[in-house]
Structure formats: C-alpha cells, structure tokens
Structure 1
Amino acid sequence: MECYSCSSTHKPFWCTRCLSKRLHTYVATQAALAKERETLAQRIASFHGRTRPPSGISPAEEAFSTQKRIAALQADIDYSREQIRQRKLEAQDLRRTLQDRRTRLSDAFTTLRLGRTRLLDLMHKDIEETHKQYTQSADVLMQSRRLLVRELLSIFKLRKVQRRFPKSVSNTTIVQSFSASSSSATRPQSAIAATAPGIIEYRIVNVPLPIFGYTMSVPRERFNAAIGHTIHMCVLLFQYLHVNLPYFTVNKGENSYAQAQHVVADEASRMPLYLTDNNAESFIVGLSMLNYNIAFLCHTQGVHIPIYDVPNTLENLVLCCQASNLGREWSRRRPPPPPLQPAPTNQPDTVPPPPQLNGNDPFFLEFNKVVQLHVALHKRRWAASALARLCAGKQQQQEQQQQSAATISTTATDIDVRNTKLLQQILDENSEDEAESSEWHLVDEIVGAKTQYP
C-alpha cells in the first residue's frame, strides 16, 4: 500500500520507496511485453515464410507499394466512374437525338408518300393528256395520210375495170370457153376465157398492168408505162405512209431500177424496172423487188398478201389503199380483230376473212420464193394461167361472200391446201417452155366495148 504522501494527487513527487516500486513494476511489465512481442514476431515470420518466398523488400516498403497501387486503382475507379457518368449523359443525348431523327424521318416518309402520290397522280394525268394528244395527233396524221392516198388514187386513177363484149359474141360461146379453160390444168382452150365478163382488171392511168407472164401479148411500151406509173405511185405512197422498205426503187424512165437498201450503190446491184430485149432476167428480179415492197407495205397496213398473190401488183396496191388501218403508224399496236363466230353445226363452214395483222407481227414472206414465182410465171405460161384461175376463183368467192351469206361446199382449209399445192407445182415444175405460138395470152382492152368503172 502506498504511503500517504505519494497517494495524494496534489503532490507531483513520489518518495524513494514508492518510486523504486513503480520502476520495478514497469520494468517487469515491459519485459513481459517484449517477450510476447518477440513471440508474435516469430509467429508472423514463420507464417510469411510459408506463404511466399522472400523478396528482399521490407514489409514496410511492400506495404507502401501496395498502398500506392490501391491509391492508383482508386483513382482509376474514380476516373472510370466519371467516364461512365459522362457516357450515360451522352447516351441520353443520343437517345433524344435518335428519337428526334425518327420523328423527323417518319414525318419525311409521310410527306414523301403524300408527295409521291400527288406526283403519280400528276404524272398519270400528264401521261393521259400526252397519250390523248398523241392519239389525236395520230388520228389527224392518219386522216391526213388517207386524204393524201385518196388524192394519189384520184391522180393516178387506180381503179378496177370489168370487160364487156359486143352483142355479136354469144353468151353460150363465152360460157363454154370459160368452162373449158377452167377444166384445163395446163392451158385455156380460148383467149376469150381470160377476158370473161366476170374477171376484174386493174388499171393505173387507164393503162393495164398484167402479170409478167402475159406480156408477150401486151405492147411493151404500155407495159413499161404501167410499170413507171406504178413505181411513181409506190414511191409517193411509201413517203406518205412513212414506211421504210427493204428495197429501194427509183423511177427514171428507161433507167428505172430497184436495189437493196444495204447494198453499196453501184451499177451491178441495180435491177432494171424497164423491160427491154436484153434485160428480161434482171427485170424479173427488179419486178420481184417491187412486188415484194408492195407486199411488205400491205403487211404494214394490216393486209395479208399470200405468196401466190404477190405478182398482182395493182390489185395489191388497191388492197393496201382500201385497208381499214391505212395511215396508222406501223409501230402502234392495232386493235385485235373481233373473234370469229362459229358456224352452225347444220351448215358447212364458210370462208373466213383474211387475217388482220398487227403492226408488230413479223413479215415471213421469203424473197427467194417470190423470185422463183416470177421466173416460173415468165417461163411457163401454164403457171400464169393457173395463177390467174386461182385469183379469179378467190375473187368469185369474195364476191359471193359479200353479196349473200350463202354457204359453199369447200372449207377454207381445203382451199388453202389446194392453193399451196398449186403454188408448189408452179415453183417446182421443170417442164420445158411452151411454144411462142400458144393461144394463151391476155386480150387487149380494145377488144369489146368501152371500159366502165364500177
């Protein structure tokens, strides 16, 4: 127990005995603490020695380094958090901008759709107006072309005429001669048979143009004059109808010629269209070119010309000038023809009308066959006779169809087959030419009464 003097708190001094006692107590406490500290240090050293190898760095330095890394990581974390916060703000701004753009894009699409609808309506109206104007212009052009063709017909006097005979010629003789000529397949029995009252003849400027196979009995001057008038009319007709033809024709009197469009212009490629004693073979080619042009022109105007009708020059011109689609642009699509009404089952088939062509239909007529047909007509008079009978029969069928609706015994298919066989016989016949003294020829128009126009 401490003394009274040392136990008092008012006195800052201790006595010797109390001070010595306190010092011994303090030293013993420190010794115990030092021993305990050493024990703990050994235990810590032994623990660290088992977990990691010695690095040569003191724990204090290592702790300081760790603190520095922790501080750096904390700074990076703070920087990353700041960046994340800024990116979130930017993302919010971008979302607002995207939403605004979507709204503007939707408005733009709506405006574009409305504008496109209005523009399409305006375009449709413009197209309809343009098409209407074009149709009106095309109709005016077609009417103008028809008027020009009508004036051209009146100038060149392209007409159909029919022969009449004086009363001295009996009807019985004419009928017998015509029947005899129709029954013969090689030549007619009488010259009057080719000029029967029912046969139609075509003239231009009151000059007939027969098939080239008949020219032995027609004056050459008149034949060349008819060819010249035909070329002149065809050139004007081609220009009026604005049709590009496969063969180029020039009317120069005795120097008239025909030439292909793709051939370089020289004397050798020109085929004459003026018949002389020395150019019969080349004239046949030139006449074939002219008739081929006329057939192509008829095709452009919607008229079908079969190959056995190609030599009928003036008749084809008449058919072209009487076409229902005359003057229409060749590139314009023509309306399809009305469908054919089926014939009653209790009546035989009737002859159908000729096919109506469209402006875009191809032209299948071969020029080689046209030349072969003209050569056959020139060298074999029986071919000209057969072709004349074929055309006369076709005219009679057309007249019967126009006058009445009476039926005929032969179907259209049989007629086409017979015409095809006859044409093939004309083209493939290799018999020798008949003598020049043959009775088959075309009787001149001065035989009989004056010509009357229908």
Structure 2
Amino acid sequence: MECRVCEQRQRQFYCADCLRIHLREFRNGMQHVAGERTAVVARAEELMKTVQPARLERAEAAGLEASISGAQTERDRIREDNERKRMRISHLRASIAARRQALTAARTQFPSQVQPQLAQQQSRSAKLAADLAQTRALLAHHLLGVFQIAAVRGEWTVGGLVLPVPGDMRRFPAEHINAALLHTLHFLRVLTYYLGVKLPFEVTHNAQQPWIRAGQGPEYGGWAKWVHKQPLFIRPSSSASPSSSSSSIAQHGGTRSMAPQESFTTGLTMLMYNVAYLAHTQGLEIGLAQAGEVLRNLWAICKSPNVGQRSHETRPTLPPPTPAQFTLDFGQLLQVTSAAPPPARKARRSSRVPVDDDDGWDFVENEE
C-alpha cells in the first residue's frame, strides 16, 4: 500500500483473523471449482466415447488414401519405365535385325574371298610360330655352347666354373661362387630374352653386385610377398656358410633384418624358383629335390623338345607368373634350401694330391 506521508509503496500487513478468513474462503472456492472440474471431465469422457470410433475410422481412411496415392504414383512411374524399356527393346531388335541382314549379305557375297584369306592367314601364323619356336630352340642350344654349360666329372659347370648345389658351397671360395653366379645370371637373362618369358623374381645390379626381388604376381606359390631385395653374392669377409640359415626365415617374407648369409640363401632360392618356373613354361616339371641343381635344370630346359613353343610375348601366350598349375611353393623350397646339410668337416691340416686313374687324374684329400 502507498504511504500518505512519504508516498512510497510498502508491504501490506494482515492480522491473523483476516488471514484465516481469507484462507477459508480460498479453500471453499477451490473445492467448488474442483467439483465443477470433475463434472466437466466426466462429461467430456462420456462424449469422447461416442466420438473416438469415428476419429479412428477417419484416421484409418486417411492412411489408406495416402497408401493408395503412393501406389498410384509408383504405378505411373513403373508404366513410364516399362514404356521406355519397350521402346529401347524395339530399337535393339531393329538394330539386331539390320546387323543380321548385313551379316547374311556379307556371308552370301564374300564367302569365296574371305575363307581362303582366313585360312591362309592361319596357316601363315602357324608356320611363323613353328619357325619362331625352331629359332628359339636353336638359340637355346647355341647358348649352351657359348656359356659352356656341361657336366664335368659329376659336377655342372658354367664358363669352366662349378656352380655347387646349396649344401656343397663350403668347398669353394666366395669369389668362385660369385663368378659362377654371375655367369648363370647372364645365361638366364639371355635365355629368357630369347624365349620371351617373364620370371617371377627380377634381378637388378647395384654397385656391380646382383640383387633379386619379387615382381608383381598373384598369391599362388607364396612368392609375391618377397618384395625386398636379397643379394646373389657372398661377401668374402663373411665366415658363415651360405646354407647355415634357419628354415624359420621362410615364415617372414623378405625382412630387412636378416643376416647376410641368410639373405644370400633367400636370394639363391629365388634364383632356383625362377629356373623351376622357366622349366614349367617349357613343358618340364622340377620338384623340390631337383630344384637345387640350377645348371642341370637350365641344360634340361635348352634340350627340351618343347623349348620355345610358348611365350609371354607371342602366341600361344603364357599366363602371367605364376599360374595355379605351377604347384611349386616358394616357402617349402626355401625351407629345403635352408636346411640343406653341409658337407663333412675337413681335418685341420690337409693337402690335395693328384692321383692318376683310368680317366685321367683327380684331387683327393690327404690328411696329416
């Protein structure tokens, strides 16, 4: 209320009796209103019971109308799509009929000219393939004489140097093995160039030393994952044997953390796998037991009656390396090569003495 003296609004005060009276009147009014509200709610519920079925029916009808409208729209769209497809089919049928007529006219007008030319071209192609295969075979035979690949006293040599099998490399110095491998790689490169065959593993030279790694290929044979370079040479300062690596390296494809001699064993296995695949392309199958005799396998390839008949560059073409028909697994070959038994250890002091026999002379061990 506003004070008559200071003209400021102040809080209005009531006595306890006035508050009780006001509260009583408020409660009575609330009870009266609550009763009226209950009556109105009950009446509304009674009215809703009569209206609710009609509302549900109208909602269901509206939903059905919406579904019908959507179905009609989809029907119109399908009809338009079908009409377009009918028109396209009619155009295709007309085009096919025109092409058939043209083909029939061509067959009736030029049979006497086309067939002889086609037969002549096929005959020329077959003759060219036969001449090419014969030329490749002659080049392969000539290559054996150029590189002097032959068996001398039970050991296979290239350029006069023995290339030992993996388990027999301790008998030769590192320089000898490196030279024999260089001759073998050169021979293999020229032979694959003559035959037109792509090998699974690619050989590169870095600092005048050969390295080998896997090219692109499928999962057949388990060789495509060996993408890191492996050496195809022995360091003269290394004292470990090339065949002393564990067979467990076959489970780790191309890791860079290998020891030098383990890497050489892996590289040598890659070379053996290349030779085995080359033999497969020329109609020869080489198993795990014969894969280590690299020079003997190369000699057998050059002497094969089917050499030069199939290639990656001419018809009939070969599938890319390596197909499913080539069953040699690189991991198994690596395990066999790594587990090759080393030769018997020599005595501390030994010398080689030539001994004459019927065929000439040979070296034998003389232990002191």
User: For the structure 1 residues 114 and 205, does the alpha-carbon distance in structure 2 shift closer, same or farther, using more than 3 Å as the test?
Assistant: same
Aligned to 1:7: none
User: Is 1:245 the equivalent of 2:204?
Assistant: no
Equivalences, count: 222
**Distance in 2, Cα, partners of 1:127 & 1:447:** 69
Q: Secondary structure at the match of 1:249?
A: strand
Runs of 5+ consecutive residues of structure 2 not aligned to the other structure: 1-96, 218-226, 239-258, 363-368
Could you list the per-position Cα deviations for residues 363-384 of structure 1 after superposition, in whole angstroms to 9, with x for gaps in the alignment? 111111111111011xx337xx
**Distance in 2, Cα, partners of 1:275 & 1:360:** 32
Q: Relative contact order: is structure 1 or structure 2 higher (C-alpha 8 Å, sep ≥ 6)?
A: 1
Aligned to 2:326: 363
**Distance in 2, Cα, partners of 1:279 & 1:360:** 31
Q: Secondary structure at the match of 2:157?
A: strand
Contact 2:230 2:263 in 1 (8 A): yes
Contact 2:170 2:342 in 1 (8 A): no
Aligned to 1:256: 210
Q: Secondary structure at the match of 1:243?
A: coil
CA-CA distance at 1:212 after TM superposition: 1.6
Could you list the per-position Cα deviations for residues 121-158 of structure 1 after superposition, in whole angstroms to 9, with x for gaps in the alignment? 54432332112111222122222222322332221111
Q: 2:336 aligns with which of 369, 373, 377?
A: 373
**What amino acid does structure 1 have at the position aligned with 2:233?**
Y
Q: 2:270 aligns with which of 289, 293, 300?
A: 289
User: For the structure 1 residues 210 and 112, does the alpha-carbon distance in structure 2 shift closer, same or farther, using more than 3 Å as the test?
Assistant: closer
Could you list the per-position Cα deviations for residues 396-449 of structure 1 after superposition, in whole angstroms to 9, with x for gaps in the alignment? xxxxxxxxxxxxxxxxxxxxxxxxxxxxxxxxxxxxxxx84589xxx9997763
Q: Return the TM-score normalized by structure 1.
A: 0.44
Runs of 5+ consecutive residues of structure 1 not aligned to the other structure: 1-104, 164-199, 335-358, 383-434
User: For the structure 1 residues 150 and 113, does the alpha-carbon distance in structure 2 shift closer, same or farther, using more than 3 Å as the test?
Assistant: same
**What amino acid does structure 2 have at the position aligned with 1:299?**
H
User: Is 1:137 the equivalent of 2:115?
Assistant: no
**Distance in 2, Cα, partners of 1:320 & 1:246:** 17
Q: Secondary structure at the match of 1:309?
A: coil
Q: Return the TM-score normalized by structure 2.
A: 0.53
How many percent of aligned residue pairs carry the same amino acid? Answer: 29
**What amino acid does structure 1 have at the position aligned with 2:329?**
E
Aligned to 2:22: none
User: Is 1:307 the equivalent of 2:266?
Assistant: no
Could you list the per-position Cα deviations for residues 220-252 of structure 1 after superposition, in whole angstroms to 9, with x for gaps in the alignment? 221111111001111111111111111001356
**Distance in 1, Cα, partners of 2:114 & 2:324:** 31
CA-CA distance at 1:308 after TM superposition: 1.1
Contact 2:141 2:303 in 1 (8 A): no
User: For the structure 1 residues 323 and 450, does the alpha-carbon distance in structure 2 shift closer, same or farther, using more than 3 Å as the test?
Assistant: farther
**What amino acid does structure 2 have at the position aligned with 1:133?**
R
Q: 2:300 aligns with which of 315, 319, 323?
A: 319
Which is richer in strand?
2
Could you list the per-position Cα deviations for residues 325-354 of structure 1 after superposition, in whole angstroms to 9, with x for gaps in the alignment? 1111236569xxxxxxxxxxxxxxxxxxxx
Aligned to 1:274: 233
Aligned to 2:146: 155
Q: Secondary structure at the match of 2:289?
A: helix
CA-CA distance at 1:323 after TM superposition: 0.7
**Distance in 2, Cα, partners of 1:114 & 1:226:** 66
**Distance in 1, Cα, partners of 2:127 & 2:353:** 45
Contact 1:301 1:326 in 2 (8 A): yes
**Distance in 1, Cα, partners of 2:290 & 2:205:** 24
Aligned to 2:165: 211
Q: 1:229 aligns with which of 164, 183, 191?
A: 183
Contact 1:253 1:274 in 2 (8 A): no
CA-CA distance at 1:275 after TM superposition: 1.2
**Distance in 2, Cα, partners of 1:303 & 1:444:** 39
RMSD between aligned residues: 3.5
User: For the structure 1 residues 283 and 149, does the alpha-carbon distance in structure 2 shift closer, same or farther, using more than 3 Å as the test?
Assistant: same
User: For the structure 1 residues 122 and 367, does the alpha-carbon distance in structure 2 shift closer, same or farther, using more than 3 Å as the test?
Assistant: farther
CA-CA distance at 1:262 after TM superposition: 3.1
User: For the structure 1 residues 204 and 445, does the alpha-carbon distance in structure 2 shift closer, same or farther, using more than 3 Å as the test?
Assistant: farther
Contact 1:330 1:360 in 2 (8 A): no
Contact 2:195 2:311 in 1 (8 A): no
Contact 1:284 1:374 in 2 (8 A): yes
Contact 1:224 1:274 in 2 (8 A): yes
**What amino acid does structure 1 have at the position aligned with 2:232?**
L
**What amino acid does structure 2 have at the position aligned with 1:130?**
Q
**Distance in 1, Cα, partners of 2:214 & 2:108:** 52
Contact 1:295 1:310 in 2 (8 A): yes
CA-CA distance at 1:120 after TM superposition: 4.6
Aligned to 2:107: 116
**Distance in 2, Cα, partners of 1:241 & 1:285:** 26
The correspondence of residues 36-435 of structure 1 with structure 2, limited to 5 A, is: 113=104, 115-117=106-108, 119-161=110-152, 163=153, 200-250=154-204, 255-262=209-216, 269-276=228-235, 277=238, 279-330=260-311, 362-377=325-340, 380-381=341-342
Contact 1:333 1:360 in 2 (8 A): no
CA-CA distance at 1:219 after TM superposition: 2.2
**What amino acid does structure 1 have at the position aligned with 2:144?**
L
User: For the structure 1 residues 121 and 271, does the alpha-carbon distance in structure 2 shift closer, same or farther, using more than 3 Å as the test?
Assistant: farther
User: For the structure 1 residues 445 and 369, does the alpha-carbon distance in structure 2 shift closer, same or farther, using more than 3 Å as the test?
Assistant: farther
User: For the structure 1 residues 305 and 149, does the alpha-carbon distance in structure 2 shift closer, same or farther, using more than 3 Å as the test?
Assistant: same
Aligned to 1:93: none
